[in-house]
A = this chain, B = another copy of it.
Amino acid sequence: MTASAIVTAAMLAIGDELLSGRTKDKNIGHLAEVLTLSGIDLKEVRIVADDEAAIVAALNALRGAYTYVFTSGGIGPTHDDITADAVSRAFGVECVHDPDAMTLLGDMYKRREMEFTEARRRMARMPIGARHIPNAVSTAPGFIIGNVYVMAGVPQVFQAMLNAVLPQLETGAKVISRSVRSPFGEGDIGGPLGEVQKRHPETSIGSYPKFDGQSFSTELVIRARAEEALDAAEADILAMLATITAARSSGSADA
């Protein structure tokens, strides 16, 4: 893929425990950081319950809209782990005990002198024809079908699987960013900052308020795909801040 192409992604986090508040998700923020650093734009995230219809509907909406979809959760050995079935249904293919995954897991349990129970065999189930995502932490693989990457919900395993697939992904022009600290609050700079944004449409300028307990300041984050665009917007913001500073110190309304 060329350096100027834009590669997009969505995430589908699956699990009742995320929606009941029992478990606080740790995978969304991690995926967001890793994809941003890799030059893949995470555009949308959805969280749904362990509910086949909900998973199928969300997955079909997302896989048609973005380059990649990453899922987390629901690939363990118990009855509430239904992600493999739901993904198979979304693609209209059969969900089977993958022979290679059966061998991998069978050998592992044999080494550990543990019974390869029916429940453990469930972890070998995936849509027919899916490719494995290796699991360096606990062996049971994730899988890839089409543009969908199905990974575990346990953060250590999710991260290991993501590390395993990352080198295979197409990546686009990286979004680079630069922070400028404004000593003024958002309410003071909001107007002129909007003008700066209009003059630099190839950048995206985010404004994040800070409060130190006494006064407000603002962190401005400029994002763009080209260094020159960042440079130009940064210079414009610094000039704007200098104008406000001069106006305040001279006591006049305009510098």
Contact = CB atoms under 8 A, between A and B. Distances in A.
Interface residues of A, number: 64
A58 B16 CA distance: 21
> In this complex, which of A18, A36, A175, A187 has the most chain B Cβ atoms within 10 angstroms of its Cβ?
A187
Max chain B Cβ within 10 angstroms of own Cβ: one of A20, A24, A207: A20
A22 interface: yes
Interface in A15-41: 16-25, 28-36, 41
A30 B171 CA distance: 34
Copies of this protein in the assembly total 2
Given A46-B44, A206-B80, A117 B190 contact: yes
A27 to B, nearest CB: 11
A47 B48 contact: no
Interface of A: 16-25, 28-36, 41-50, 54, 58, 76-80, 114-115, 117-120, 122, 154, 175, 177, 186-191, 193-194, 197-198, 204-209, 221, 223
